[in-house]
Structure 1
Amino acid sequence: MTQTPLLLASSSPYRRELLERLGLPFTTASPDIDETPQPDESAEALALRLAGSKAQALATQYPGHWIIGSDQVACLPDGTLLHKPGNHEQAVHQLQQSSGHAVLFLTGLTLLDADSGRTQHHCEPFSVRFRDLETREIEAYLRREQPYDCAGSFKMEGLGITLFSGLKGRDPNSLVGLPLIALTDMLRHWGRNPLLAP
């Protein structure tokens, strides 16, 4: 029996590397969506909406596919959203804001059947407690990893782990951008078990 092909709606090399761990064949494509938060939109609602929008944006171009959309939102205890910093100055500011605090990362995940329109949605929470960071530590870290395309200004899969005093959540992969436990659950729900895949 031919398996429905999988499409990862992302240009992120981090998400691609994560999905490769499941051992399932897939292709990638970059969705073009507006990621601007809506007025009074909660962090969780934003993460879910963006994940769904990414998958939906590619549905007509990729009939016959199951499309995986994922997006991450990070927020400080006061609700302030942490976006991708884009440059060194903003990254310094973000890490100064995060220093000594628990930052909540919410990763929205959508699995969409492009033909039938059926979908599954999930939001995976993961909390990171930052150590009290000295300015020289922040500068040294940013010079070494330059995580300017990462929400929260760090790379969990690299030296970013040295910034933390603790992690809390069921799936650390969600910090990198794709919650594999939840995705495995979704695939199994539709009859695709990565462990039993041909």
Structure 2
Amino acid sequence: MARTLILGSSSPYRRELMKRLHLDFQTFKPEIDEQALSGEAPQVLVQRLAEEKAKKVSRVMHGAEDALIIGSDQVAVCNGEILGKPHTHKRAVEQLLSFVGQKVTFFTGLSLYDAREDIAQTVCEPFYVTFRNDLTEAEISRYVELEQPLNCAGSFKSEGLGTALFAELSGSDPNSLIGLPTIKLLKLLRNVGVNPLT
């Protein structure tokens, strides 16, 4: 019998990526404290939060005690500073202005938690975005107005007009920028016998 697969996120972007993988899955949003611990490195933070989200689902969602649960978390880092979601138009514009001509690293934590075995496979996937050095405040403000990326780490959506802000992208999985590194996810799933190609 196939194991239940649960995406521990309410993100429509992550849900869309999961649908593309031809996997049957449910979604459940775990509520956890996402604050960084004192001195916590961004790579450590996103892995800890991804794993905490997956484990929280196993504890609070009915029927999840036997499931495979996916947790994910993402932060943007620019000049050593961890940047979260802006939540307001003003902060989104300020965040994007600070990126002009800069390389921003996005760290995406991914955890696949086997609730039955109490085993988590957890990884961190980096992705790098270099922003145009000729971006104007008017362009940035217009972008924020059009796409409203207020709940996105880094204040943009790479799957939309966000690419108008970029000079260059580099990394092993562009989907990690959207919030779910699917190449790594499929590898973790194969480790536990789940493969959409078989």
What TM bracket, shorter-length normalisation? Answer: over 0.9
Single out whichever of 53-62 and 30-39 deviates more from structure 2: 53-62
Q: TM-score, normalised by structure 2?
A: 0.96
State the one-letter code of the partner of 2:85: K
Alignment of 1:132-171 (within 5 A): 132=133, 133-171=135-173
Cα distance in structure 2, aligned partners of 1:164 and 1:141: 12
Segments of 5+ residues of structure 1 without an aligned counterpart are none
Q: Report SS of the residue matched to 1:59.
A: helix
State the one-letter code of the partner of 2:27: T
Q: Hey, what does 1:88 align to over in structure 2?
A: 89
In the comparison of the two structures, how many residue pairs are matched?
194
Deviating beyond 2 angstroms after TM superposition, the runs of 4 or more aligned structure 1 residues are none
Q: TM-score, normalised by structure 1?
A: 0.96
Measure how far apart 1:116 and its partner are: 1.3
Partner of residue 179 from structure 2, selected from 173, 177, 181 = 177
Measure how far apart 1:118 and its partner are: 1.0
Q: Hey, what does 2:113 align to over in structure 1?
A: 112
Measure how far apart 1:190 and its partner are: 1.1
Q: Report SS of the residue matched to 2:144.
A: helix
Percent identity of the aligned residues?
Answer: 51
Measure how far apart 1:175 and its partner are: 0.3
Q: Hey, what does 2:196 align to over in structure 1?
A: 194
Measure how far apart 1:54 and its partner are: 0.4
Q: Report SS of the residue matched to 2:30.
A: coil
Cα distance in structure 1, aligned partners of 2:47 and 2:119: 16
Deviations 1:35-75 (A, max 9, x none): 00100000100010110110011112311110000000110
Cα distance in structure 1, aligned partners of 2:128 and 2:196: 27
Q: Hey, what does 1:9 align to over in structure 2?
A: 8
State the one-letter code of the partner of 1:182: K
Q: Hey, what does 1:19 align to over in structure 2?
A: 18
**Does 1:30 find its partner at 2:29?**
yes
Alignment of 1:36-115 (within 5 A): 36-60=35-59, 61=61, 62-76=64-78, 78-115=79-116
Cα distance in structure 2, aligned partners of 1:142 and 1:84: 13
Segments of 5+ residues of structure 2 without an aligned counterpart are none
Measure how far apart 1:146 and its partner are: 0.7
Deviations 1:64-116 (A, max 9, x none): 1100000001100x211111000101001100111110000000000001121
Q: Report SS of the residue matched to 1:58.
A: helix
RMSD over equivalenced CA pairs, Å: 0.7
